[in-house]
Structure 1
Amino acid sequence: MIYAGSSLKVNLLQDGIAEVVFDAQGSVNKFDKQTVAELYAATEALKNNTEVKGVLVRSAKSTFIVGADITEFTELFDMPEAEVLTWVAHTSQAFNHFEDLPFPTIAAINGFALGGGCEMTLVCDLRVADTSASIGLPEVKLGLMPGFGGTVRLPRLIGADNALEWMTTGRDRKADKALNEGAVDAVVAPDKLIDAAISMLKDAIAGKFNWQARRAQKQAPLKLNKNESMMSFSTAKAMVFAQAGKHYPAPHMMVETVANAARLGRDEALALENQGFTKLAKTAAAKAQVGIFLADQLVKSKGKKQAKAATKELKQTAVLGAGIMGGGIAYQSAVKGTPVIMKDINQPALDLGLKEAAKILGKGMELGKVDAKTMASTLNNIVPTLEYSAIKDCDLVIEAVVENPKVKAMVLKETEQHVAADAIICSNTSTISINQLAKSLDKPERFCGMHFFNPVHKMPLVEIIRGENTSEATISAVVAATLKMGKTPIVVNDCPGFLVNRVLFPYFAGFSQLLIDGADFVAVDKVMEKIFGWPMGPAYLLDVVGMDTADHASGVMADGIPERMQKIANDPVTLLYKAQRLGQKNGKGFYNFSIDKRGKPAKAAADEAYALFAEHCAAKRDFDADEIIARVMIPMANEAIRCLEEGIVASAAEADMALLYGLGFPPFRGGVFRYIETMGLTNFVTLADKYADLGPIYQISDGVRQMAASGKSYFSQSA
């Protein structure tokens, strides 16, 4: 034994070969402060051992190294910029120190080698991967760039264009693709990995591979002449701006760093990388995206834990109501391998549901994501029926009929009479109280809400709504079923609108009041899309939701939370609904929808909508972007805070992920709670108070004032 630490050890094998074995105490290997310190110590031990002729780097786990320990980042990035720079420079020196060992090194890569794990392979002179390997630099997804030499070594190995594509997209490569691009030297079967690596290392020791030249290539300036350099980096800058836009600084910083380092050697280039990493680490975007990663880990961990507690396996599903939504739910169950009965009261509806499933699969085939076998097996897994008798053996029944409490109650009551005593019954409702619907059932303990988002196959979130009588066994089973369907479950308690729609409708109300006060809906959409970062502004989103749906749901919210969500007199949404301008579903709403000359969907602000609003709204005037953002976002933020205070959602992290997955909240802002905290709670209180006279949705709770006064964070309370 040459060195032994808690995360890695170094053994001396035969023929002067030493192996550095990463074997952290947790389930995966990652670079935390402890592991970096041990890498430095292990390198010193190797350097000072006269018997060592070459080094093999491998993992004792089923995966190589998954990257840096993200849990350390939140505290780290709160430090002053100079301290962050010192940390990243010190860490990258540990990698340099290993790269400078006086003998050849090889990485044997199995499973994931991501971020710092990929950078560890890059410091080695040779790389061999097995067929299970996935290699990449995904730091951009955290609002960061590689910080341990990735921007220096990868471009010199595979070319600047390829390297920038790896880094700016954050997509990892399977072993064969990495081989084709030159990032690894060989790919072998998993059982041959170590033998192949040792064989290659022996060849390098024997001088059959010029490992010194390979190392020198990684440390020298890029081999690009002035014209090639200008063309390459100009193209990269344009592509990054087109794809990432202005809200995500990380990919822009990567291009700039690689371009500026092109004529520099390793150490000077690495200094630029360290500086770029540090600047990004201090941005709001990085803080938000790291927050999303940690929140996502929390949600996944919680979901897995709840699913493990499930005592009932759900082998067959039924969906009641075969429209667009029902067809989407049936598809999602079937494509993940669970047979589903799709029931409706008329054949045309069943045909529509099957058509919806076939349409999704057909699109997947066009894009090369679905093969004929998957299409056939998915459609075979969906059995349409008009008879209740067909659902008698189903373990899980999801009611997805029209959003009407009386109709839903009747269907649920009938369903209970046709299923087994232990079958679980769910309602796919977006606003109707689960406690109210449960009154129609004899066994409310086996009932809960299961709110899917449209389009089902694209939207990751399923809100699982616990009623006052819902058993934990029911929740656990439905969480397990949701995970099996490939969706992210977030469990919330019952209230009008649950979590996502409860916070969405105050946002819509703030928008409606803005229009009544003279704002132009096109200008509002532009600010909320281009500046705030929503995928759709409120007017466009309402057109997609449908004015009939939005008007009905706002009525439900007004009945449920009358103290804050009373319907607005002359609400533009209601005016459009009464004029039968329903949005995309009939081609006219705030916008008129059409197909352009190229056959692509197009939208144009509707003169008819402006005319409809004219007599009910103030004269049109300009609002600055900050006021527009404040007037629509304060109501959403306030309602999210109330949901947390009332225990509707268990943590700020879960609330943020629900809005990210259910509404498309801008990822660079990290979710509504991260948005509030980035602004600063004291600043949020001041801003909300500025608009408090606009009505109850702008008036903050006492809890927010107390949090701000005591300097607390919503994330220190995350469950």
Structure 2
Amino acid sequence: MTDFIYEKDADGIVTVTMDMQGQSANTMNERYVPGMDEVLGKLRAETDLKGVVFASAKKTFFAGGDLNLLLGIEKADAETFGYIEENKRPYRELEKLQVPVVAAINGAALGGGYELCLACNHRIIADVKGAVVGLPEVTLGLLPGAGGVVRLTKLLGLEKALPHLTEGKPVKPQAALKAGMVDEVVASTDDLIPAAKAWIKANPDSHTQPWDAKGFRYPGGDVLHPKVRQLIVGSSAFLYAKTRGLLPAPAKILDIAVNSMRIDYDAALRSESRGLCALVTTPECKAAITTFFFGMQAIKGGKVRPAGDHWKAQNAAILGAGMMGSGIAWAHANAGLPSVLKDMELDKAEKGKSYTAMLADKAIKRGRMDDAKKQALLDQITPATDDSAFAGTDLIIEAVFEDISLKEKVIPETFKQLSDNGIYGSNTSTLPISILAECCPDPSRFIGLHFFSPVDKMKVVEIIMGEKTSVETLRKAYDYVQQIGYMPIVVNDSRGFFTSRVFGTFMDEGISLMVDGMSPVAVERAAWLAGMPVGPLAVHDEVSLVLSQKVSKTHKDLDARLGVDSGFGKHNTASRAVCDAMIEQGRGGRHYGGGFYDYAADGSKSLWDGLSQFAKGNADVQLQDAIDRILYRQAIETLRCLNEGVLRTEVEANLGGIFAIGFPAHTGGAIQFIRGIGIDAFAARAAELADKYGERFALDASAFDILRNEKAQAA
């Protein structure tokens, strides 16, 4: 009973304190069911039992299912169904106790933890940091399989339950009370047990769940209520528009929630088990657990961070108050990092600071900020034109124009203002860090810090190691990125690094499809169906064709300067041919008045009717081919980066691709996409695409060795 501490007081109330041994959180591990059975057996044997309180000795209340066990399930068979049914059985038996049961929630009660709370008659939560309730299973490609779908639908009604079931957002105490997800909020964890016992004493007969009581009615109406019927139809359309049919979990949750209202309670619980059984083996589930749980855990937990003491920047300087510099200043202010924002002219630096004011004003209008917080943010940013304004600073970030000559002038001039232990970062998106480091007085303290636009929304930073960058500098850069609340993705130096290389293939493949004869509308539609957030033609307009041309020219000039052929973007032939021609026709992208799209004064846009001139073929490109070309092109380039050592880990490849480039989240990232399809099946399909569409899809068999080896090591 060490996992479940059983204590009975003089009033006949038993407190069961969950304290799973050898782990930091309570989970549904292999000891969970036997432990719960032992608790239930003792409770049923009590002769003067008055009530039960479930509490936790951990910082969290209960974390729910063991994801390692779920990830290992390969077949949706009778054994898997039996495992799911067995895990939820104790909750149903808990509901049948003839005494009131209370959940005393001291911290996070998510997933199976909140499902335990739902099986109790009363839920009390402490209004303390970290205390939340919710059912986040949908974010892992799953559904709440321990009664969560059925019970929450009965507790709140379909309309109020669906957002919590299909979005999976954690809910803080006061909001949970307002939503009806908990029944009582207390000020501290010390108040939980006394409040629970007081409720039991005041409600000795409240041991029957509302849905077990005769005459139970669903809040908001049953499944035949006109409003509910309309909700069901609308929810189906809404979910498809949101998920594009690429995520099976939300649709399955809606189906089970609706049908649970049509059948008896125990049958509904079995239906829920069948739904979870079907989802747990899907590629989408495996991808979500691998990337969004274990992958994020690895990043946040420091598994890919260099060992050493944690570092915190006390102040910073940002050179260049353009779009990127202004965005970085906002990120610093938001994290409480005082920063000097320097530009050649004070009005430009002031304008850069006004970007933070603009974002703050938007937050105020949405009720997410007040004037005092806005002023506090603005106080963190000091516009300047002189280098002396940031003398002795811990961190300098160069964010001037993507011009190597300009950067080579700025870096040595400003490096002298760095503190003795400070680091210097360049926000370049494609220029090799090792080459820029040649102009730096101390290359060991020079590193790439590539932010993405818009900085306030793109919460990821690509950290680029130069040939002479020290491990200590990398560690400090890693800590800095986490200090401002962003996700660090570490890569080794190369032309275009990782993100720009892969993103370039996405834009190029969209143009290639158009050149092959596919209509521009169909190209954008294929990208949407593939799961990309924005079509390749639309995103190219936002990036600007002019910038793409400049990047290409910069690397051509760099090759000439170094006397090498880097091969950077060698397969992006469609982009170069079409972009050059469009720029000659005055179409440089959205910023330049139009590109692939025409932009109207009212904010609407439509594809430019002149794009047909670039169609060189009249091939009938099948939709599935187009989808595969868009995804495979990016996955192949990501695999090349992994093989070349540009990427260090699969975790960073997957998360970087999703958060920085927009690779479809349902795949779990580009490398997980390959694993989900199967290495051999992916290789075979890539070979088909290469035969049909060109060598950019060609991969040598040895290209997959790194994946096979890592899989073997993991096994």
Matches of residues 182-581 of structure 1 in structure 2 within 5 Å? 182-190=180-188, 191-205=190-204, 207=205, 210-212=206-208, 214=210, 216-217=212-213, 222=218, 224-225=221-222, 226-228=224-226, 229-303=228-302, 306=305, 309-310=308-309, 312-529=311-528, 531-555=529-553, 559=559, 561-562=566-567, 565=570, 568=573, 571-581=577-587
Letter in 1 for 2:573: I
Superposition deviation, residue 564 in structure 1: 6.6
The correspondence for 2:637, drawn from 636, 639, 645, is 639
Q: Deviations over 1:398-457 (max 9, x none)?
A: 000001111112111111223333321000011110100100012111110000000001
Superposition deviation, residue 671 in structure 1: 0.9
Q: Deviations over 1:55-103 (max 9, x none)?
A: 1100112221133222322112x13433322211111112212222232
Q: Secondary structure at the match of 1:328?
A: helix
In 2, the alpha carbon distance for the partners of 1:256 and 1:714 equals 38
The correspondence for 1:10, drawn from 6, 9, 17, is 6
Whether the aligned pair in 2 keeps the contact of 1:499 and 1:643 (CA below 8 Å) is yes
Whether the aligned pair in 2 keeps the contact of 1:220 and 1:264 (CA below 8 Å) is no
Whether the aligned pair in 2 keeps the contact of 1:295 and 1:654 (CA below 8 Å) is no
Q: Secondary structure at the match of 1:453?
A: coil
Whether the aligned pair in 1 keeps the contact of 2:640 and 2:703 (CA below 8 Å) is no
Residues 1:161 and 1:311: Cα distance change in structure 2 (over 3 Å): closer
Aligned residues: 699
Q: Deviations over 1:96-139 (max 9, x none)?
A: 12222232211101221111010000111111111133111111
Superposition deviation, residue 355 in structure 1: 2.6
In 2, the alpha carbon distance for the partners of 1:625 and 1:192 equals 60
Matches of residues 91-240 of structure 1 in structure 2 within 5 Å? 91-132=87-128, 133-190=131-188, 191-205=190-204, 207=205, 210-212=206-208, 214=210, 216-217=212-213, 222=218, 224-225=221-222, 226-228=224-226, 229-240=228-239
Residues 1:221 and 1:511: Cα distance change in structure 2 (over 3 Å): same
Q: Which runs of 5+ in 2 are unaligned?
A: 560-564
Letter in 1 for 2:612: Y
Residues 1:636 and 1:244: Cα distance change in structure 2 (over 3 Å): closer
Q: Secondary structure at the match of 1:345?
A: coil
In 2, the alpha carbon distance for the partners of 1:39 and 1:218 equals 28
Task: Give the structure 1 partner of residue 562 of structure 2.
Answer: none
Superposition deviation, residue 248 in structure 1: 2.2
Superposition deviation, residue 280 in structure 1: 2.1
In 2, the alpha carbon distance for the partners of 1:84 and 1:505 equals 43
Letter in 1 for 2:644: E
Superposition deviation, residue 237 in structure 1: 3.1
The correspondence for 1:26, drawn from 23, 27, 33, is 23
Whether the aligned pair in 1 keeps the contact of 2:312 and 2:483 (CA below 8 Å) is no
Superposition deviation, residue 592 in structure 1: 1.1
Superposition deviation, residue 308 in structure 1: 7.3
In 1, the alpha carbon distance for the partners of 2:568 and 2:414 equals 35
Whether the aligned pair in 2 keeps the contact of 1:651 and 1:718 (CA below 8 Å) is no
* Residue 86 (str. 1) matches residue 92 (str. 2): no
Task: Give the structure 2 partner of residue 651 of structure 1.
Answer: 649
Whether the aligned pair in 1 keeps the contact of 2:292 and 2:668 (CA below 8 Å) is no
Residues 1:571 and 1:397: Cα distance change in structure 2 (over 3 Å): same
In 2, the alpha carbon distance for the partners of 1:566 and 1:126 equals 62
Superposition deviation, residue 309 in structure 1: 2.5
Residues 1:328 and 1:321: Cα distance change in structure 2 (over 3 Å): same
Q: Secondary structure at the match of 2:654?
A: helix
Superposition deviation, residue 658 in structure 1: 0.1
Q: Deviations over 1:334-372 (max 9, x none)?
A: 111010000111234213312322222222222222221
In 2, the alpha carbon distance for the partners of 1:342 and 1:222 equals 57
In 2, the alpha carbon distance for the partners of 1:322 and 1:716 equals 49
TM-score normalised by L of structure 1: 0.92
In 2, the alpha carbon distance for the partners of 1:514 and 1:580 equals 23
Q: Deviations over 1:662-689 (max 9, x none)?
A: 0122111211112212222111111111
Letter in 1 for 2:43: L
Residues 1:341 and 1:627: Cα distance change in structure 2 (over 3 Å): same
Residues 1:500 and 1:360: Cα distance change in structure 2 (over 3 Å): same
Whether the aligned pair in 1 keeps the contact of 2:76 and 2:277 (CA below 8 Å) is no
Q: Secondary structure at the match of 2:419?
A: coil
Superposition deviation, residue 661 in structure 1: 0.7
Superposition deviation, residue 146 in structure 1: 0.8
In 2, the alpha carbon distance for the partners of 1:716 and 1:126 equals 48
* Residue 690 (str. 1) matches residue 688 (str. 2): yes
Superposition deviation, residue 533 in structure 1: 1.0
Whether the aligned pair in 1 keeps the contact of 2:311 and 2:479 (CA below 8 Å) is no
In 1, the alpha carbon distance for the partners of 2:66 and 2:583 equals 51
Task: Give the structure 2 partner of residue 590 of structure 1.
Answer: 596
Residues 1:283 and 1:218: Cα distance change in structure 2 (over 3 Å): farther
Tell me which moved more, 463-472 or 432-441.
Answer: 463-472
Residues 1:413 and 1:687: Cα distance change in structure 2 (over 3 Å): same
Residues 1:590 and 1:294: Cα distance change in structure 2 (over 3 Å): same
In 1, the alpha carbon distance for the partners of 2:34 and 2:582 equals 64
* Residue 75 (str. 1) matches residue 67 (str. 2): no
Q: Secondary structure at the match of 1:26?
A: coil
TM-score normalised by L of structure 2: 0.92
In 1, the alpha carbon distance for the partners of 2:311 and 2:256 equals 54
Letter in 1 for 2:479: A
In 2, the alpha carbon distance for the partners of 1:567 and 1:668 equals 26
Whether the aligned pair in 2 keeps the contact of 1:344 and 1:350 (CA below 8 Å) is yes
Whether the aligned pair in 2 keeps the contact of 1:157 and 1:218 (CA below 8 Å) is no
In 2, the alpha carbon distance for the partners of 1:362 and 1:287 equals 41
In 2, the alpha carbon distance for the partners of 1:707 and 1:155 equals 46
Superposition deviation, residue 387 in structure 1: 0.2
* Residue 675 (str. 1) matches residue 673 (str. 2): yes
Tell me which moved more, 248-257 or 572-581.
Answer: 572-581
Residues 1:401 and 1:310: Cα distance change in structure 2 (over 3 Å): farther
Matches of residues 38-49 of structure 1 in structure 2 within 5 Å? 38-49=35-46
In 1, the alpha carbon distance for the partners of 2:163 and 2:660 equals 29
Q: Secondary structure at the match of 1:395?
A: strand
Whether the aligned pair in 1 keeps the contact of 2:462 and 2:491 (CA below 8 Å) is yes
Residues 1:69 and 1:567: Cα distance change in structure 2 (over 3 Å): closer
Letter in 2 for 1:610: S
Q: Secondary structure at the match of 2:72?
A: helix
Superposition deviation, residue 705 in structure 1: 5.0
Letter in 1 for 2:450: H
Q: Which runs of 5+ in 1 are unaligned?
A: none
Superposition deviation, residue 294 in structure 1: 2.9
Q: Secondary structure at the match of 1:27?
A: coil
Superposition deviation, residue 644 in structure 1: 1.3
Superposition deviation, residue 704 in structure 1: 3.4
Whether the aligned pair in 2 keeps the contact of 1:650 and 1:718 (CA below 8 Å) is no
